[in-house]
Every structure is written in structure tokens, then in C-alpha cells.
């Protein structure tokens, strides 16, 4: 769906956190990235070589990926010259912003003139069926969380890699923009029409060989007042055999809505298991994925041991410990 290699466009964002899409792509698909393109004033950095449109094109780039999400999700006018030049040089443009590339007349015109594609990955590219809930072959893992931005995508990708390294037949299924750029395909589930949430996931992770594993990237949280509907439809459509419960150690208020409490792991797990049983009565908890970035090594070890003992499953931090303990349990 999205052709690599990529040139990652960082614009002129001042807050490195606004470039987390680019950072994620550079981390997980370094092989697919030739470099980054930064405008004057940009303070984000993926660590990739800085390249102009011309240099990237000479090296074989196929797609310029807008890898930043400025507050508001709009496309600043001052970026249009470079984006238009990329189209003129023969690159496709891909973006996960709310504002659509195809709605910008200059870009639409340049793409048409040059026969290039504008890929708005937040826009569903086909109609989806209503979810059937019917059991389907193949095995599936879904990452669920106590909040948004707790590491569900990271955990899903780490699991997929580890499973593949152990010889398992595993696919990562992307449900958000960064995941889609990394996988090259997927469905931005929060952009699907509400009637088709579970149906879109049934389409994304369809019937498969009995020994094939889909690792599905979760979104939101059943305890998030804005996004719980998306999370529930995703859960039902995934029909997961295993859940991986994701949490950021120490977070007590929801990301960006700190007056909302983060549920306890136990409460979050109970509701996820209860509701997941609707479409897979045999669903189980595989383990806990703890983002311990804010802790010292000693604190992190203590916290992981404590969570593991409380819930009776492995607890990992993919950055500190890797996820081998989860895959080992899967293979038992």
C-alpha cells in the first residue's frame, strides 16, 4: 500500500514529541528509511541522515512520509513548497494527519500532473463489512491498555519480531497511523465509521492458517471516556486468544486528561477479559507490558516483579528486558 524506501519529513516542529510518528518509523523500519528532511528551525531528530528531496530521489526514495503531527493536526501552508517539490520529483506523499493531503488543491494538482499518489492513511480506502463475530481460524494476540500512549504499538511490534525470530509465523496488524507506516499497510481504526469498527478488524486480521499468529495493535482503553467505543469494537473484532495488558508505570491520570484516573491493572484486565469473551470465550492474559521509562533500573525490576507476582503472568518492559518471556509462555 505505501511504497518504501521512505524519506521522513519532519517539517519545522519545535517539540520532538510531535515527531513521534517519524521516530517510530525510524526505530522499527530503519531498513525502509533513507533519511529525514528537516526545515529550518526543526528541533526533532530521528538520527537518520539529513537528505534533500533531490538526494533522496537519487538514492531511490519512493514516498515522502509526513512523520509529524503538529497540534491540531493541520498541514501548515509553509510546508507546501517542499511537499509539492517532492511530488514533482516523482515521490508519493503519505500522511497520517487529520487534515487530508487530497483536500489541498496545490498538492492534488501536482499529484495529478505527475501521476503520483497522495496517501492519507487516516482515511479508510475501502468500505468495510459489519462485524459478524463468527469464529475464524488462525490465532490472534491483542495489546490492550490502561490508557492511550502506554506502548501498545511498541509491544505489538516487539512481540511480532520476537515471535518471528523464534520461527513462529506471525504478522503485525497495524491499527494506527505510525503502525501503518511501519507495516506499509493497515487500518486506522479510529477513522472508520462507527458501525464498522469490529468489521474493519475482522477484515484486517482475517481467517488464517491454524499456526499463523496475528499480533494486533490495540488502541485507546475501555476506561477512556473519549475512545472506549473504539477499544471495545477492536476487542470484539480481534477475537483474541491472548491479551497483553499494557501500562505506563507510575501514570495515575489519563494522558492529556490528568483529572481522569488510570484504572488498576486488575480492574482493566477484568473488564477486557469479560468483554473479550463475547467473541472468544477462551481468551487469556499472556502477560503485562510495562513501560518503565520513568523508573531507575532497580525500581523497574521491583515493579515488574511485583506486577508479575500480583497477576501471575510474566511482566516485561520491551526496552529493558525484551519480550522473550511472553513468547516463551506462548510456546509452552
Judged by the rule CB under 8 A, the positions of this chain that interact with a second copy are 130-133, 189-195, 197-199, 222-223, 225-234, 236, 257, 260, 271, 274-275, 278-279
CB nearer a second copy, residue 77 or residue 259: 259
Cα–Cα dist 19/25, whole Å:
10
CA distance linking residue 216 with residue 238, whole number of Å: 7
> Minimum Å distance from CB 156 to a second copy?
19
Q: In what order do the strands lie in the sheet with 242-248?
A: 169-173, 212-216, 139-145, 242-248, 284-291, 315-316
> Partners of 141 in the beta sheet?
215, 242
Closest CB to a second copy among residues 82, 149:
149
Instruction: Please report how close the Cβ of residue 277 comes to a second copy at its closest, in angstroms.
Output: 10
Quote the least distance from Cβ 169 to a second copy, whole Å: 26
What's the closest the beta carbon of residue 223 comes to a second copy, in angstroms?
Answer: 6
Which residues touch 212 (CB under 8 Å, ≥6 apart)? Answer: 138, 139, 169, 170, 171
* Rounded distance between C-alpha atoms, residue 146 and residue 326, angstroms: 19
Cell of 54: 533531490
Task: Give the three-state DSSP class for 241.
Answer: coil
Nearer to a second copy, 239 or 292 (CB): 239
Q: Which is nearer to a second copy, 118 or 197 (CB)?
A: 197
Q: Closest distance between a second copy and the C-beta of residue 131, in Å? A: 4
Per-residue exposure over 211-230, b if at least 16 CB sit within 10 Å of its own CB, e if not: ebbbbbbbbbbbbbeebeeb
260 forms beta bridges with: none
For a second copy, the closer of residues 145 and 233 by Cβ is 233
Smallest gap, in angstroms, from Cβ of residue 172 to a second copy? 21
Of 18 and 92, nearer to a second copy (C-beta) is: 18
Would you say 107 or 192 has its CB closer to a second copy? Answer: 192
- Which residue number, 132 or 309, has a Cβ lying nearer to a second copy? 132
| Burial degree of 318 (CB within 10 A; 0-12, 13-18, 19+) | buried
Cα 20 to Cα 4: distance, rounded to the nearest angstrom: 19
Q: How far is the CB of 224 from a second copy (least distance, A)?
A: 8
CB–CB of 184/2 below 8 Å? yes
Work out how close the CB of 268 gets to a second copy at its nearest, in angstroms, rounded to a whole number. Answer: 12
d(CA 313, CA 325): 9
Amino acid at each position: 500500500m505505501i511504497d518504501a524506501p521512505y524519506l521522513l519529513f519532519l517539517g519545522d516542529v519545535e517539540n520532538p514529541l510531535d515527531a513521534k510518528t517519524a521516530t517510530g518509523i525510524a526505530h522499527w523500519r530503519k531498513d525502509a528509511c533513507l533519511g529525514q528532511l528537516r526545515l529550518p528551525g526543526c528541533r526533532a531528530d530521528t538520527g537518520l541522515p539529513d537528505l534533500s528531496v533531490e538526494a533522496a530521489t537519487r538514492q531511490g526514495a519512493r514516498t515522502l512520509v509526513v512523520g509529524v503531527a503538529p497540534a491540531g493536526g493541520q498541514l501548515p501552508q509553509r510546508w507546501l513548497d517542499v511537499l509539492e517539490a517532492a511530488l514533482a520529483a516523482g515521490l508519493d506523499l503519505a500522511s497520517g494527519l487529520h487534515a487530508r493531503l487530497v483536500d489541498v488543491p496545490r498538492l492534488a494538482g501536482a499529484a495529478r500532473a505527475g501521476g503520483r499518489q497522495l496517501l492519507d492513511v487516516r482515511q479508510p480506502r475501502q468500505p468495510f463489512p459489519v462485524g459478524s463475530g463468527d469464529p475464524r481460524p488462525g490465532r490472534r494476540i491483542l495489546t490492550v491498555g490502561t490508557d492511550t500512549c502506554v506502548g501498545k504499538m511498541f509491544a505489538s511490534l516487539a512481540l511480532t519480531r520476537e515471535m518471528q525470530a523464534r520461527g513462529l509465523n506471525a504478522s503485525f496488524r497495524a491499527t494506527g497511523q505510525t503502525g501503518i507506516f511501519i507495516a506499509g499497510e493497515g487500518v486506522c481504526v479510529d477513522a472508520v465509521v462507527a458501525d464498522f469498527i469490529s468489521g474493519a478488524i475482522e477484515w484486517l486480521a482475517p481467517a488464517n492458517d491454524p499456526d499463523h499468529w496475528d499480533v494486533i495493535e490495540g488502541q485507546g482503553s475501555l476506561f477512556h471516556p473519549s475512545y472506549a467505543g473504539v477499544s471495545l469494537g477492536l476487542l470484539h473484532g480481534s477475537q483474541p486468544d491472548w491479551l497483553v495488558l499494557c501500562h505506563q508505570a507510575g501514570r495515575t491520570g489519563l494522558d492529556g486528561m490528568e483529572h481522569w484516573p488510570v484504572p488498576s491493572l486488575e480492574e482493566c484486565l477484568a473488564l477486557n477479559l469479560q468483554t473479550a469473551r463475547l467473541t472468544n470465550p477462551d481468551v487469556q492474559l499472556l502477560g503485562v507490558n510495562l513501560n518503565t521509562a520513568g523508573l531507575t533500573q532497580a525500581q523497574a525490576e521491583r515493579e515488574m516483579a511485583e506486577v508479575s507476582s500480583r497477576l501471575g503472568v510474566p511482566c516485561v518492559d520491551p526496552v529493558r528486558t525484551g519480550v522473550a518471556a511472553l513468547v516463551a509462555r506462548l510456546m509452552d
